[in-house]
Chain A
C-alpha cells in the first residue's frame, strides 16, 4: 500500500471523529439555544404586551379613579384585545386570554374555543392560584396542541394571558439545524481529509520519493549535488544531509584514488631510497672505521700533550710560589731594614739634646714607619701588589697618634675609612700624606693642653678616592700661605698629591683645619 493511502486512512478517523463530535455538540447546543430563545422571546412578548396594554390601561383607570366604571373597563379591555390582535399579527404565535374560570375571552387565532378551554384550563387554574407575578412556561402536548407557551395571570381583570407557538415549528427548525450541522460536518470531514491528503502528498510523500531516488543514486556511487527539496523542515534537512553525504562520499572516493596513486609512487621511491641507504650505510661504515682509527691516534697524541702541559704548569706554579715567597721575604726584609732605620733614628734622637733635631728625627722616623707599614701589611698577604687601605691607614694613624705627645684623654682620633684594596704605588704616598697632616695636627692644632678630635675619613667616589683629614683645633694661622709654605711637611704633602697621585688638595680653615685630597685610583 502506498504511503499516501496509509496517511489518508490514518487521518480520516482523526478528522471525522472530532468533527462528528463537534457537530453533535453544536446541534445539541443549537437545539437547547433554540428552545431557550423561544421561551425568552415568548416571555418578552407576553411581558411587554401585559405591561404596555393591560397593566398600563388598568393603571390609567386606577389613576383616574375609573377602575370600577364598567364602561371604561370594557372599553380599555377591548383596547387591550385590539392591541393583542395587532401584537399577534406582528410578532406571530398565538395570543389568547382566558378568564379565571377558564372561559375564552380572546384568541388571536381562529381556534375552536372549546379546544382552547379544555386543553389550557388546567394551566389557567394553576396560574390563578399562584402569585400574580408568577409566570408559567412549558410545553403542552394534547390532542389539539403541541405548543410551547408562557402564561401569566392578571389579577385585577381576572385574565390569564397565554402566548404560545407551535412546537412543530421549533422541531422543523431544529431538524433543519440537524441536517445543516451534519451536512456541514460531513463536508468538513471530507474537505479536511482531502486537504490533508493533498498536503501530505505535497509535503511528505513527494519529498520522500525524491529522497528515495536520491538514496538509490548514492547507493549506485553517483554524485548528487542537489536534491530538489527546498523546504526548511526535517525532510529538507535530511535532503541537505544526503547532499552533503553524497559529496563526502564522492570526495572520499576521489581522495582515496589519489592516495592510492601517491602510495604506489611513494612505495617505488621508498624502495629506491632503501637501496641508496644501504649503499650509503656501507660507505659510511667504512668511513667510520677509518675515522675511528684516526681518532684513536689523535687521542693518543692529545693525552701526551696534556701530560706535557700539566708538567709545565706544575713547574710554573712552583716557580710562582718560589717568587712569591721571595717577594714576601723581600717585603719582610725591607720592613725589618726600615725598622732598623727607624730604630737607628730613634737611638740617634735619644742621644741628641737639640729638640729641633730631635723632632726632625722623630718626623723622619714616622715617615720611615709610614713606608715600612706598607711592607708590614703586605707581609703574609696573598696579594703582594695591593693592600687593604683601611687596615694600612688605621695602623699608621694609630701609630702616629700613639707616638705623639698629646693627651689621649683630650684629643681623640676617629677613623672613618672604607674597606677597599689599593695599589702599593698609591698606598705609599697616601700613607706619607696622612703621616704629615696628622703630625701637623698633633703638633699645632691643640696647644696648651687643648682638647679636640682628629678625624680621618676615606671613601671611594666611583673611580676616585677622597681623603678628608680634619681637626677641630686652632687652625692654621691667618695669613699663612700653606701652598707655598717652606715647611717640609706641607711641601711634601703637595708634592706627593700633585706629582705622585696626580690628584688635587684643598684646605679649609674654619673651626679647625680640613684637608680634602682627591685622586683617581689606579686600575689594577
Chain B
C-alpha cells in the first residue's frame, strides 16, 4: 500500500513538472446539467491560465449515456497519450472511469449526486486517500424536505403528505429515492411513493422513457398529493418537466433544475452550475500542481440556487414567506 502511494506521488510530481498537461473530460451525456458544469469547468481552467494547445490538451469524450461507450472511449484515449488527469462529469461516466483507471491516474468527478451509492468513494465529508476526488452534486435531502413542508404546511393535516417519485433505474435516481424513503421512515408526516422506469440510453431512448413516465403518472394517480422530481439525467430533461405539466393531476412541489420551476414546479433547489464547475476547475489545478487527490475532501456544493414559481404557489394558495422569497432572490418564475 505504501509502495503504491509512493509511486502515485512520483507520478503526480512528474505531472507537475511537465509543461503540457493532458486532461480528459469524460461526459456521461449531452444534457444541460452536464453541459453547464463542463462549460464552467473549462472557463475556470482558462481563468487559471490553462490554454488549449499551449500548456493544456483537453480531450472531451461524450459517452452518450452509455457506460460501455464511456469505457471504450477512455481506453482508447489512454492508449493514445499519457494522461495527467481524468475529469468525469455525471455518475455514469464517473463509474466507468473509476473502473478503467483503477486509481492509476488522478480522477476528478462532478455532477454526481450520490458518489457513495455509485461506489466512487466511501464517505462524504472526508478525503478519499485514493487517486480520486470530486464534488457532490446534491443538496441535503432533509433541507429540501424541510423547505417544501414549510410551503405546503397546513394543506394536508389529517394524514401524511404523499410525494410521488417517478424515476429511471439510473444510479443517481435509485440512490436518491433510497435516501428519501429512509428519511420518510423517520418522519411520519411524509411518504414517498416511487415508480421506477428501466433506464435506457439517454437521450436516444427518450420517447420510450416519456411513455413510461406517462404510465407512471397514471399508476400513481390518486395515490399521491404532490410530485417530487428525481435526480438523474431523465428528470434533468425539459421533456420530463413538460410532460408532467401536461399530464400530471397534482402539482410538482420540487424540481431538479431551473427549467423545472420555469415549467411549473413550485420550487427548485440545485447546486449553482457555475460555482460547481469552477470549483472542479480549482481542484483540477491543485492536482496538476502536485496535490494528491486522496488528500482533497469530498464535500457538497457550497452554493446553491433556489427558484420559485409564483403562479404555482398562488394556485396552491401558498404565500411564500419572506425568508424563502429572499433566498430565491431573482429566481422567481410565473
Contact = CB atoms under 8 A, between A and B. Distances in A.
A81 to B, nearest CB: 13
B309 to A, nearest CB: 11
Contacts of B53: none
A63 to B, nearest CB: 7
B299 interface: no
Contacts of A76: 322
A64 B308 CA distance: 10
Contacts of A72: 319-320
B310 A56 contact: no
Interface stretch (B41-49, B181-189, B203-211, B325-333): B325-333
Interface string B81-109: 00000000000000000000000000000
A60 B326 contact: yes
Contacts of B320: 64, 72
A75 interface: yes
The secondary-structure label for the interface of chain A is helix
A71 interface: yes
B321 A79 contact: yes
Contact of B310 (A57, A64, A75): A64
A79 B322 contact: yes
Interface residues on A, range: 10 to 19
A63 B330 contact: yes
Interface string B309-326: 010001000011110011
Most buried by A among B310, B325, B330, B332: B325
Interface residues of B, number: 11
A56 B322 CA distance: 9
Contacts of A359: none
Interface in A52-86: 56-57, 60, 63-64, 66, 69, 71-72, 75-76, 79
A75 B322 CA distance: 9
A66 B330 CA distance: 13
Contacts of B321: 75, 79
Contacts, number: 23
Contacts of B319: 71-72, 75
Nearest to A76: B322
Nearest to B330: A63
Nearest to A74: B319
B322 A60 contact: yes
A66 B319 CA distance: 10
A66 B310 contact: yes
A57 B330 contact: no
Given A64-B310, A66-B310, A57 B322 contact: yes
Nearest to B321: A79
Interface string A196-226: 0000000000000000000000000000000
Nearest to B319: A75
A289 to B, nearest CB: 141
A64, A71, A75, A76: residue with the most chain B Cβ atoms closer than 10 Å: A64
Contacts of A57: 322
> In this complex, which of B310, B319, B322, B325 has the most chain A Cβ atoms within 10 angstroms of its Cβ?
B322
Nearest to A79: B322
A72 B320 CA distance: 8
Contacts of A75: 319, 321
Interface centre among A60, A72, A79 (most CB of B within 10 A): A60
Nearest to B334: A65
A329 to B, nearest CB: 145
Contacts of A56: 322, 326
Nearest to A83: B322
A57 B326 CA distance: 9
A79 B214 CA distance: 41
A71 B313 CA distance: 12
A76 B320 CA distance: 9
Contacts of B326: 56, 60
A156 to B, nearest CB: 15
Contacts of B310: 64, 66
A57 B320 CA distance: 11
B332 A64 contact: yes
Interface in B261-282: none
B274 to A, nearest CB: 22
Contacts of B330: 63
Given A57-B322, A64-B332, A69-B314, 5 more contacts: A56-B322, A72-B319, A75-B319, A75-B321, A79-B322
19 contacts: A56-B326, A57-B322, A60-B322, A60-B325, A60-B326, A63-B329, A63-B332, A64-B310, A64-B320, A64-B325, A64-B332, A66-B310, A69-B314, A71-B319, A75-B319, A75-B321, A76-B322, A79-B321, A79-B322
Interface of A: 56-57, 60, 63-64, 66, 69, 71-72, 75-76, 79
